[in-house]
Amino acid sequence: MPEVANLGIVRPPVVYLSAIALGLLLHLAWPLRLAPTAVGVPLGAIAVLVAVALFLYAVRTLRSADTPVPGNRPTTTIVRTGPFRFSRNPIYLSFSLLLLGVAFLVNSWWLLATLALAVALMSFVVIPGEERYLERRFPSEYLPYKASVRRWL
């Protein structure tokens, strides 16, 4: 059994930063507008603010439980408090909301498309690997948690 949830092959921050970079490059090469500025800017700003608040809340909750935030360090406990009551992956949800907010702020369909790619990569590659790790490390705690709390929302 690996001693960490994510061995570093596909790191979530890199997934989302790459999606932003790719989306911005595509937007610069071939701009496809997403929404009128009067709608996109307020929606984008709200999404970014919610993303930052959710990220900070999730990190604070993990630190309060004395378990590391990065997936490349051993998990010490299953956290069921704070935003982890509603989502098993609130940090990834915050990254997705951040990318959605940036898509609206930049007014780019390309950023929305790369968000879809990032969520797919997280859903089908990263998260299943992390879930297998947690199932093996904490079988009596994680399986009931997994059954009662959704992956995203």
Asked if residues 102 and 45 have their Cβ atoms less than 8 Å apart, the reply is: no
Where do the domains of the chain lie? Answer: 14-148
- The model's pTM is 0.92
**pLDDT tens sequence across 79-133:** 999 999 999 999 999 999 999 999 999 999 999 999 999 999 999 999 998 999 8
| Residue type, position 91, single letter | I
Q: Say yes or no to pLDDT of 77 above 80.
A: yes
Sign of CA pseudo-dihedral 95, 96, 101, 104:
positive
